[in-house]
Amino acid sequence: GAGVSQSPSNKVTEKGKDVELRCDPISGHTALYWYRQSLGQGLEFLIYFQGNSAPDKSGLPSDRFSAERTGGSVSTLTIQRTQQEDSAVYLCASSFQTGANVLTFGAGSRLTVL
């Protein structure tokens, strides 16, 4: 597609439920990134899929968070047993090559945990 697509744009869930957030990167982009941004805060790196190499998961805040990237394209970020502090905007980005510093971001998925 022309840009990075994320869905859902908004998700409200109850504490303890699992959620899945989807990212469809720009076609042909080999690298994919997940960040999150809590209200009024900066961008926090979560995970980085770098082509065929093992993903950099160093930013995942707990083992409740996981992500997959199937077929080198679409990625799903899964949060299990959601907590209120997980409420944030989850942003996905992609870049043409791994290690690139020019990223294209999606509009984000706003997660609210009640």
Cα separation values, 14 from 2, 39, 52, 87, Å: 33, 18, 36, 11
Q: Which is nearer to another protein, 79 or 106 (CB)?
A: 106
For residue 71, the SS3 value is: helix
By CB under 8 A, residue 73 contacts another protein: no
CB 10 to another protein: min, Å? 11
Peptide bond into 8 cis (omega under 30): yes
Interface positions, 5-24, toward another protein (CB under 8 A): none
User: Can you give the binding site for another protein, defined by CB under 8 A?
Assistant: 4, 33, 42-43, 45, 48, 50, 56, 59, 91, 93, 97, 99-108
